[in-house]
Amino acid sequence: MAGLNHRPLGRTGLVVAALGLGAMDTPHSPEAVQTVTTALDLGIDFIDTAREYEGSEHLLGEVIRRRGGKDFAVASKTFSHSISGSQYDIDRSLKVLGVEHIDLYQLHDISTPQSWDEVMRDDGALAGLKTAQYRGLIGHIGISSHDLEIAEMAITCGEFETVMLEYSAFFPQTARLITLAAHHEVGVIVMRPLGGSGRTSTMRGRIATGDAGVLTPANLLRYVLSNPGVSVAIPGARYPSRVVENVATATSYTQLSAAGRREIEHAATGLY
C-alpha cells in the first residue's frame, strides 16, 4: 500500500501527512494509548490536542514516554486570552507532555469579535505566544475559529502561520477561506472533517443496515482531502479501528470530481 501523502503546513516549514489525528475525545476510551500508537505506527505524524481537552495532553505525554521521545508534531491550544494566561498554559502543556518544545501552539476557538480584540491586544494571548516562541518553547503560532469573518482576519493579518477551520461536506462554505489561506501561505488544519461524533454515529448505524449511500466516513474524508488547500485533516478517534480505516482511505483515495463532491454535499444536507 502507498504511504500517506505529505503536504506543507503553510509557511511553517513543517511537512506533515495530510491525515492527522484529533485527540480531543481519544482519552475517553480504554484503547486510547493504542489508538494514538496505531496512528503513529501507520505514519500519522501530526496530532492535535489542547489544554482544554481533558486528559488529552496527559495521554500524548504517556505515549511520548513509552516511545522514548516525540517522533511526531504536536499542536496544542490555549483558551486564555491574556499574555500571562497563555504563557502559563504553554508551561503546563510542556510539563504534561514531558517535552521541551511544542511544534505549534494555537489560540483556541476565537470566534467572537470580543475574543479577537482581547487576544490581539498588546497584553493579549498572542503576545504571550510570541514571547514563548522567542524563548524557543513553541515553534509556530496558529489560531482556531468557528467564525468565518474572524478566520478571514486571522488568515490575512499576517500574525498566524496556521488556521484551524471546520470544513466538511456538511460545512462546505469554508472552501473560500481555504483558497485564501493557501494564497497567504497559512497552513489549514481541518477540524470536524467527518461532521462530528453525532453525525458519524448516525452514519455508522446506517452503514450497519446497508442504508448509507454515499454518506460514509470514507467519502467524507475523501471530500476534505480532495481539496488541495487543506494541509492536514484531523478526524477524531477513540478507537484504533477508526484510525486504521482512515489511513486506508487516505492512502488509497482518488481525487473527487466536482460532480462527486456535489453528490456528497447533497447527501450531507439530509443528515443533521
Ligand X SMILES: NC(=O)c1ccc[n+]([C@@H]2O[C@H](COP(=O)([O-])OP(=O)(O)OC[C@H]3O[C@@H](n4cnc5c(N)ncnc54)[C@H](OP(=O)(O)O)[C@@H]3O)[C@@H](O)[C@H]2O)c1
Applying CB under 6 A, the residues found at the interface with ligand X are 22-25, 48, 108-109, 144, 164, 191-197, 200, 204, 217, 234-239, 242, 245-246
- H or E stretch at 205: helix 197-208
* 109 torsion bin: left (phi>0), alpha (psi -120 to 50), beta (else): left
Query: CB of 165: closest distance to ligand X in angstroms?
Result: 9
Q: Please, which residue, 68 or 187, has the CB nearer to ligand X?
A: 187
CB of residue 51 to ligand X, shortest distance in Å:
12
List all residues 6 or more positions away from 176 whose beta carbon is below 8 Å from its beta carbon: none
Cα dihedral 104→110→113→114 (10° resolution): -100
| Region of 111 on the Ramachandran plot (φ > 0 left; ψ -120 to 50 alpha; else beta) | alpha
CB of 20 to ligand X, least distance (A): 9
Shortest distance, position 75 Cβ to ligand X, whole Å = 8
Q: Residue 80 or residue 122: which is nearer to ligand X going by CB?
A: 80
Smallest distance from ligand X to CB 241, Å: 8
- Judged by beta carbon, residue 68 or residue 192, the one nearer ligand X is 192
Residue among 125 and 237 whose Cβ is closer to ligand X: 237
Q: Kindly state the smallest distance separating residue 111's Cβ from ligand X, in Å.
A: 8
Q: Which is nearer to ligand X, 81 or 242 (CB)?
A: 242
Is residue 189 within 8 Å of residue 227, measured between CB atoms? no
Beta carbon nearer to ligand X, 48 or 62? 48
Distance CA 67, CA 5 (A): 24
The CA distance from 217 to 215, in Å, is 7
Residue with cell 496556521: 162
